[in-house]
Copies of this chain bind each other. A is one copy, B any other.
């Protein structure tokens, strides 16, 4: 099954658009977890156990694992094996390189088992191409990111149109395998509507709610599309660090359930 169809299928089966960001920071783990032999995997396992009922996807950001060296990568590999097969996995790596090198990044990430990965559009089509050869796997291309400095380039007008809109248009034109989506931050709710108009059939990965202050209701309305299943709403810190005490897993489960329900209320499911 093509990945964009599978994404919708998983979201509908779970009745959830929740993506849980697994951005591991050992200093924020409860003491009991830090004493484990592999604290990162122990933390993720507990979070997954507590949230898997409510999650349509898990999204480890590679930076947090790479910062821990090869031990971090080992923990990520164990985490990937542990994630239930009916939940999507997104490798948030934001890679971008010339074609022959991008092939290696695609090989690295897909061999870890990710269904989807995030990629950076700055280098253009040949940097994205190796990631979209297999229709069963795909990408979310950075379009309008959730950070304040997205103003620096993404909002600049390119040949009369904002750069992020040009990226959205290109993404639509590249989507012959139906395995491209867009990253568009919840911190830009008005712009999300504009991006949805440019890319009516592309799934969105929407970060930026919670710690970053994005607008959930507006993001769901603009992002989920007419069918109501065209977006994944990511929360990382708001779920996995809902508590820093021994009840961290239960608190994460509760936060994931609350987010799922809040999203479903907006989209009426």
Contacts and interface: CB of A to CB of B under 8 A. Distances in A.
Given A98-B146, A98-B147, A149-B127, A154 B122 contact: yes
A122 B120 contact: yes
A167 interface: yes
B147 A120 contact: no
B120 A96 contact: yes
A165 B227 CA distance: 41
Interface residues of A, number: 52
A97 interface: yes
B147 A158 contact: no
A154 B125 CA distance: 12
A153 B67 contact: no
A30 interface: no
A38 interface: no
A175 interface: no
B121 A150 contact: no
For A23, A97, A99, the residue with the greatest tally of chain B CB atoms inside 10 Å of its CB is A97
A90 to B, nearest CB: 14
A153 B166 contact: yes
Contact of A61 (B61, B97, B99): B97
B156 A63 contact: no
Contact of A147 (B94, B107, B123, B166): B123
Interface of A: 23, 61, 63-64, 66-67, 69-70, 73-74, 77, 94-99, 101-102, 104-105, 107-108, 111, 120-127, 142, 145-154, 156-159, 163, 166-167, 170, 212
15 contacts: A23-B101, A63-B102, A63-B104, A66-B104, A67-B108, A70-B70, A70-B73, A96-B120, A123-B145, A123-B154, A124-B147, A125-B149, A156-B163, A157-B158, A163-B163
